[in-house]
Structure 1
Amino acid sequence: MRYFVAFSYFGKFYHGWQNQPNAITVQQVMEEVFSKLLRKPVNLVGAGRTDAGVHAKQMVAHFDIEKISDTDDLIYRLNAFLPDDIAIQNIYQVSSDAHARFDADERTYEYWVVQDKNPFAMESTHYVKHSLDLDAMNKAASILLEYADFECFSKSNTDVKTYLCKIKKAEWKVVDDKLIFTISADRFLRNMVRAVVGTLLDVGLGKSSIETIREIIKSKDRGKAGVSVPAKGLYLTQVKYPKHVIENNG
């Protein structure tokens, strides 16, 4: 039977989600605990990958196992064995062909910026001390919705078949003591969100004009976009699925 697991993690001590040789990842740690408690090898297939140091408020993965008699008890035991920076929120049965990655139709990320030096936020936000023009940053962000090819924001030498992404939302908001950039799309390229944020911060700092965003996107040249901001400020916050995927309990 196939199950979806919803979970979160603080990414500081991990080399991203996906298993890699000679580096500790969230997938590796979770698969080891799942396999130990379920007493057989468990392979988790995630909704996507996050880079080293990136966090997830909501990540989803699927795995196959015989019927779980008590999911609440399994969640309790998994959380007891997992390290403090990984937490399971839910496990639920889905149809046998449901896929955590390929069936996801929307993903949302947030990027957190602070402008006052805060020792308690240094590991979870990006500190920008110079004043930012929030209105200009939002006008520049809205331009992203007019385009589909974002090769200019993709990590160089990435093996992808297409650079097309459908961005549905891109906006900055002040939330308490933070500036939070929220972006939603059907898919994202490697390093894309951090490159987008770096480019928008250049606009906010007055280093680039709002219209420069169009030139950067049309150029398809990563070298013309802004620098990638640090991973520590990036959060995967939501993975959405069509109703038939999550409501069909196979």
Structure 2
Amino acid sequence: MKITQRYFIELAYDGTNYHGWQIQPNAVTVQQLLNKALSTILRQQVETTGCGRTDTGVHAKEFFAHFDIQAMDYGPLTMDCRGINALLPHDIAVKRIFAVDNDAHARFDATLRSYEYHIHFQKDPFKHTYSWLLRNRPDTGLMNEAAAIIKEYTDFSCFSKSNTQVKTNNCKISRAEWLETNDSMVFHISADRFLRNMVRAIVGTLIQVGRREIPPEAVRDIINSKNRSNAGTSVPACGLYLTEVKYEILNFGNPISNFENANEKHTKSANN
């Protein structure tokens, strides 16, 4: 009998050269290259499942995926990130790989996700693909008033990309806040889940508030309308980063380091 072991993989990537995380026809994606590298080094077909999806040009400082492998094919084999990183391009980096229970799920078990959106105000060639350049600084105070209003709601249909196949547009936002420095500003947002294009649409709407095109209270009407066309334009992908994904049920501190331990674990489970 072939025994499978589920692993979580933590990675980070610069999304500039990719059409997002998820595999797409006729486009290069992060998932495609990761699957290929894992399949090569493990000598079996590996298909990963991500904690979510990032759009074209969006970056991830922290991203998780899971995959299953047949443990009995190899016996002891240490899951070493160096070999996998050697097969990946410079803009994708695997940080760690660890065994989890076979019912653990990178997407559905995530309890919190956090994003940042970066804006700068002086032309900088080193920020071109990593931050959005604005000529005039918007009013941060007004934007934070509007961001606080957004936290009062759960149905964010107005900020969702059209024709997405999801069961609900409800999300619980726990943080929505702008922080600024002399030459930049960053929007921090955390929620249990996000809809497609949601953060970029929220930022675009808040920028309208910051430019005094609409008052903060207008955000209530936009959200209540549940109509994407009433919200602001999606801002460029270059400034958006997935920064944190949290799990409560996973045992991150006690990983299984090789297939031998995985086999032993499953053998004991089968005998009990």
Aligned to 1:221: 227
- Matched residue type, 1:103: D
Deviations 1:8-44 (A, max 9, x none): 0000111110011111110001100110011111111
**CA distance, structure 2, for counterparts of residue 105 and residue 85 of structure 1:** 27
**Does residue 1:70 correspond to 2:78, yes or no?**
yes
**Does residue 1:105 correspond to 2:111, yes or no?**
yes
**CA distance, structure 1, for counterparts of residue 235 and residue 194 of structure 2:** 16
**Does residue 1:201 correspond to 2:207, yes or no?**
yes
- Matched residue type, 2:162: S
Counterpart selection for 2:179 from 148, 159, 173: 173
The structure-2 alpha-carbon separation of the partners of 1:211 and 1:13, relative to structure 1 and needing over 3 Å to count, comes to same
**Cα pair 2:104 2:250 within 8 Å, conserved:** no
The structure-2 alpha-carbon separation of the partners of 1:36 and 1:47, relative to structure 1 and needing over 3 Å to count, comes to same
**CA distance, structure 2, for counterparts of residue 126 and residue 35 of structure 1:** 36
Aligned to 1:186: 192
**Does residue 1:7 correspond to 2:11, yes or no?**
yes
Deviations 1:103-155 (A, max 9, x none): 00110010000111112111111111112111111111011110000000001
What's the secondary structure of 1:203's corresponding residue? helix
**Superposed counterparts of 1:1-250, under 5 Å:** 1-65=5-69, 66=71, 69-71=77-79, 74-175=80-181, 177-244=183-250, 246=252, 249=255
* Number of equivalent positions: 248
The structure-2 alpha-carbon separation of the partners of 1:77 and 1:244, relative to structure 1 and needing over 3 Å to count, comes to closer
- Matched residue type, 2:56: A
Structure 2 unaligned spans of 5+: 256-264, 266-272
**CA distance, structure 2, for counterparts of residue 56 and residue 208 of structure 1:** 31
CA-based RMSD of the aligned residues comes to 1.4
**Cα pair 1:56 1:237 within 8 Å, conserved:** yes
Q: Post-superposition shift, 1:84?
A: 0.3
What's the secondary structure of 2:21's corresponding residue? coil
Larger Rg computed on CA atoms: 2
TM-score by length of structure 1 reads: 0.95
**Cα pair 1:34 1:42 within 8 Å, conserved:** yes
Structure 1 unaligned spans of 5+: none
The structure-2 alpha-carbon separation of the partners of 1:58 and 1:208, relative to structure 1 and needing over 3 Å to count, comes to same
Q: Post-superposition shift, 1:177?
A: 3.6
TM-score by length of structure 2 reads: 0.88
